[in-house]
Amino acid sequence: MRATAERTPRDLSRGTERTVLRAAQRVVVKIGSSSLTRGGGALDPAAVAAVADALAARREAGTQVVLVSSGAIAAGITPLGLAARPRDLATQQAAASVGQGLLMAHYTRAFARHGLTVAQVLLTAEDVVRRGQYKNAQRALERLLALGVVPIVNENDAVATDEIRFGDNDRLAALVAHVVQADALVLLTDVDALYDGHPSLPTSSRIGVVSSAADLEGVTVTARGSGVGTGGMTTKVTAALTATGAGIPTLVAGATDVADALEGQDVGTWFQATGPRPRTRRLWLAHAAHAQGRLVLDEGAVRAITHGKRSLLAAGVTGVEGTFEAGDPVEIVDPDGTVVARGLVAYSSEELPERLGRTSEQLRELFGTGHDREVVNRDDLVVVRRRR
Ligand SMILES: Nc1ncnc2c1ncn2[C@@H]1O[C@H](COP(=O)(O)OP(=O)(O)O)[C@@H](O)[C@H]1O
Ligand SMILES: N[C@@H](CCC(=O)OP(=O)(O)O)C(=O)O
């Protein structure tokens, strides 16, 4: 088997047409709770079967597919006798724990009708932001695809706390698309496309193509969704921009149009790829890691990390905010408090203050050899805002 890192996606990212989807060797498809449920929020087995049928057809045509499926919390509503989607974290965890198994049972049956085996892959943001776990998730997904299995990914809701949650599966799908180096991402929802105003308004019309974020100026995108999903269109647009910024074209389309969407028909809203594919783990660092604290830098350090591609040294750090352990994700801010980078910090918030402003030589003298490491190593740092 080829190592994951060696997979070279076909250069489909420049394609402006939806036909990219038909030519894709590997796609990630995400389906939201609103498309998998019927009145009252209970799971709709027919909707599960419909998405399985469309993905199986794509598989038969030679495309590898990874499905990111929401619906665990929704599937837990009826068995637990709840009136609606729970709002508190503990009940959401309970509902997801009950519902995830039921959801997978439906998918297992639906894909088995096509002779396909499915695999459950549950991820938390924290699991995948650290190098070891990130590689682990990547290796598992790659192996499943090589074995001909359809991986079905969801957030590990039963153990994800508010602090470490992805929170919305649109973002999870964009990051998974990057991890498996997909040729395209498809976000399926209960509305047939992105509209320039709320789709319930008669004055709103469908947007066919978004070639860059600038096209979205003046477009009203709201977080008001179906009530069973989270984030409305806002999280889908953000996820589409994350994916396209990482070289992965993205289609937002109606779940009922899934077969046409995967065929490259003129449905939904097509977001063209805008950026090159960055090194994989950095995308997680930029978008998935929930920062536990902040490091304030002086101007020289800001320049060194944003333009000099250097590691962050204690000498350039002037302040520490928050409580964190060594290895936690932190925001790195300039003297005005603007976030310029994110990174995994090598010291805890307790250890850092006495090291601030000190050179590596001073650190060695004070704390001994081995205690002069960088505050954030370059490999664990991603610049999110470059200043002139
Ligand atoms: N500009 C917009 N264009 C299309 N849909 C929008 C827009 N603004 C808000 N929405 C709402 O977003 C909803 C989809 O989000 P959500 O309910 O979270 O779905 P999912 O469960 O698929 O993630 C749609 O039902 C629609 O009402
Ligand atoms: N992980 C949760 C879904 C969270 C979520 O983003 O839902 P949705 O907005 O419907 O895609 C679940 O399975 O219920």
pLDDT in tens, 140-167: 999 999 999 999 999 998 887 766 677 7
Instruction: Give the integer Cα–Cα distance in Å for 129 and 152.
Output: 20
Say if residue 98 is in the same domain as residue 244: yes
138 falls within a domain: yes
Say if residue 140 is in the same domain as residue 49: yes
Which residue, 246, 263, 284, sits at the end of a domain? Answer: 284
388 falls within a domain: no
- Residue 192 annotated as binding site: no
- Residue 91 annotated as binding site: no
Q: What are phi and psi of 211, to 5 degrees?
A: -95, -20
| CATH number assigned to the domain comprising residue 11 | 3.40.1160.10
- Ligand 1 touching residue 41 (CB < 6 A): no
Say if residue 49 is in the same domain as residue 121: yes
214 falls within a domain: yes
- Residue 368 annotated as binding site: no
Ligand nearest to the CA of 227: 1
Say if residue 251 is exposed, middle or buried (CB neighbours under 10 Å; 0-12, 13-18, 19+). Answer: buried
pLDDT in tens, 298-307: 999 999 999 8
Q: Are strands 26-31 and 64-69 parallel, antiparallel or unpaired?
A: parallel
> At residue 278, what is the residue type?
P
Give the domain range for residue 335.
Answer: 291-383
- Ligand 1 touching residue 37 (CB < 6 A): no
Q: Which residues contact 181 (CB under 8 A, 6 or more apart)?
A: 4, 7, 9, 26, 277, 280
> At residue 343, what is the residue type?
G
Say if residue 233 is in the same domain as residue 340: no
CA distances from 86 to 14, 35, 77, 92, 249 (A): 42, 18, 8, 6, 34
Global ipTM: 0.94
pLDDT in tens, 233-289: 889 999 999 999 889 999 999 999 999 999 999 999 999 998 777 666 676 777 766
Mutate to test the pocket of ligand 1, among 190, 234, 237, 257 (most ligand atoms within 8 A of CB): 190
- Residue 234 annotated as binding site: yes
Say if residue 335 is in the same domain as residue 278: no
Mutate to test the pocket of ligand 1, among 34, 233, 238 (most ligand atoms within 8 A of CB): 233
Reading the block at residue 244, the tokens are 């396209």
- Ligand 1 touching residue 288 (CB < 6 A): no
Instruction: Give the integer Cα–Cα distance in Å for 299 and 305.
Output: 10
Q: Which residues contact 26 (CB under 8 A, 6 or more apart)?
A: 9, 63, 64, 65, 66, 145, 180, 181, 182, 183
Say how many domains are in the chain. 2
- Ligand 2 touching residue 76 (CB < 6 A): no
Say if residue 227 is in the same domain as residue 198: yes
